A and B are shown apart, each in its own frame.
Chain A
Amino acid sequence: MALDKPYLDVPGTTIFDAEQSRKGYHLNQFCVSLMRPENRARFKQNERAYLDEWPMSEEQKLAVMARDLNRCMALGGNIYFLARIGATDGLSFQQMAGSMTGMTEAEYRDMMLHGGRSIEGNRFVGEDGDAQPQHQPQGRAGQKVQA
C-alpha cells in the first residue's frame, strides 16, 4: 500500500524522508566526517581520493565535487549534513541556500532583505511562482552556468 507523502507537490522542495535517508546514508555520513579538522584538511587536499574512501555512488561523488547541492539533495543528501561541505569551503548557510536557487549571493541576500521569497505561486507544483520548475534558474549565477 502506498505511503502518505502529501509533500511531493511542493515546488522546489525535497523532503528528507525515510526513503531519501536510506539513499543518502553514506553521502550524509561523509559530510559528518568533515566535522573533524583533520578530515577537512584531507578532503581539501584530494577530494576524489577522500570520497573514494566512502561507499557512495559515482553520481553522489560527482555532485559533491561540483558542489551541486540540488543534485546532492536529489541523491539523498540532507541540507544540515551537506552544510558541513559548505563549512569546509568557508561558506555561510545563506551562501549555501542561495546557491540552490541560481541567484548570485547579492541577489539572494537582497531577496531576503526585502522580506524573503513570496509564498504566492509557490505552494503547489503547477502554479507560476519563482520557485516553479519553469522559472529555473532564477538569477544571474544560474544563467552564467547555462551559457
Chain B
Amino acid sequence: MARITASVYTSHVPAIGAALDLGKDREPYWQPVFAGYEYSKQWMKDNKPDVICLVYNDHATAFSLDMIPTFAIGTAPAFPVADEGWGPRPVPPVIGHPELAAHIAQSVIQQDFDLTIVNKMPVDHGLTVPLSLMCGQPPADAFQWPCPVIPFAVNVVQYPVPSGQRCFKLGQAIRKAVESFDQDLNVHIWGTGGMSHQLQGPRAGLINREWDNAWLDQMIADPAACAQVPHIDYVREAGSEGIELVMWLIARGAMADVAGGKAPLVKHRFYHVPASNTAVGHLILQEV
C-alpha cells in the first residue's frame, strides 16, 4: 500500500530560483534564505520519498486566460521546464508518476472533486523552486531530481480561488486516494507558495510577519480551524498574493491526524523576510 509519510511546505519565490541558477546563493542577501533549507536538504536525503505529490500554482505559464482549471493533476510521464520569459531554468525536466497520478485522479474525482487531468504541461517556478530548495541543484553528471513528481496545480491567480476549507478537504481525499494504491510507495505531499506578499498596486511589498506566524501556528496545531480562515483575511492581512497559502492546507489535510491518527512531528520550521517581494516560510511535518 502506498502511504504518505511527510508533508513539506515552502514558498516558491521565482527570485530564489534565479539566485541559485546565477550562483548568487552565497551573497549576503540570499545566504540567510538558503541557510534555512540546509537542514531540509539533509532531511530529504535521509527521508527520500518514492514520489512527491507537489501542490503549486501555475503563474500564467501552462494555463493562459483561454482556460484555467481550479484543480489540475499532471498524469504525463514527464513535464518540461517552462520558459517564463527569461528562458527556461537550467534544471532537469520533471519525471512524473502516471500510474499513481491516474489513480489519484480517479479516486479524488469519485470523492466529488473536479480535477482536470493534464497530459501535456510545462511546469514553472511554482514547482521547480521548491524542488531546488529541498534537493539542491542537481549536478551535471547526475542531472535529475531524486524521484518522480506529480504536479498538482491549483488556481490562485484568477479569483475566486478555492477556499481553505475546500483545499483542506481535498488533502483528505488525496490521502484516501494514495492509501488505496496497491504498490508500496513512500509518498510526500508538498504545499507551496506564500507567505505574505503582494506584487501589485500601491500596496505592493506588504509583509505581515505576525499574521504569517500566527497562521503557521494554527495550521500546525489546529488545521481544521485554520481551514476556516476566509479568503478576505488572506488578502487583507497577507497581501493579494498571500492567498497562495490555501495550497498549504491541501498538504496539511493529507496528514494522519486529520483522519484520526497521531499528530505529525514538526521536524523543521523557518521564516525569513525578504526574498525579493516575499516572506519565506518553510515547514516539514513528518508522520510518526
Interface residues of A in 76-96 (CB under 8 A from B): 78-81, 83-84, 86-88, 92-94, 96
- Give which listed residue, A11, A117, A124, contacts B205 with CB less than 8 A: A117
Contact B14 A10 (CB under 8 A): no
Beta-carbon contact of A15 and B159 below 8 Å: yes
With contacts A31-B60, A79-B199, A80-B60 known, is A94 near B158, CB below 8 A? Answer: no
Check A62 for interface membership: any CB of B closer than 8 A.
no
Given contacts A34-B85, A81-B60, A94-B15, contact A17 B201 (CB under 8 A): no
Report the interface size class on chain B.
35 or more
A112 contacts B203, CB within 8 Å?
no
Q: What's the minimum C-beta distance from B127 to chain A, rounded to whole angstroms?
A: 15
B157 touches A16 (CB 8 A): yes
In the complex with contacts A21-B65, A81-B60, A87-B85, A122-B277 CB distance below 8 A:
no
| B contact residues around A51 at 8 Å (CB) | none
Given known contacts A15-B159, A116-B206, A131-B206, is B200 in contact with A79 (CB within 8 Å)?
yes
- A56 near B: Cβ within 8 Å? no
For the complex, what is the distance from the CA of A100 to the CA of B199, rounded to whole Å?
Answer: 9
Of A11, A35, A108, the contact of B84 (CB 8 Å cutoff):
A35
B-chain residues with CB within 8 Å of residue A25 when the two chains form the complex: 65
Cβ of B3 under 8 Å from chain A = no
Partner of A87, one of B84, B237, B273, B277: B84
Q: How far is the CB of B47 from chain A (nearest CB, A)?
A: 32
Q: Apart from A7-B159, A101-B202, what 6 extra A-B contacts exist at CB < 8 Å?
A: A13-B240, A17-B160, A18-B158, A35-B85, A115-B209, A123-B236
Q: Which B residues contact A (CB, under 8 angstroms)?
A: 14-15, 18, 59-61, 64-66, 83-86, 157-160, 196, 198-209, 211, 231-232, 235-237, 240-241, 273-274, 276-277, 279
What are 26 A-B contacts defined by CB distance under 8 Å?
A10-B240, A12-B204, A13-B203, A16-B157, A17-B159, A18-B158, A29-B64, A78-B158, A79-B199, A81-B60, A83-B60, A84-B60, A92-B18, A93-B14, A93-B15, A100-B200, A117-B203, A117-B207, A119-B208, A119-B211, A122-B203, A123-B236, A124-B236, A133-B202, A136-B202, A138-B202
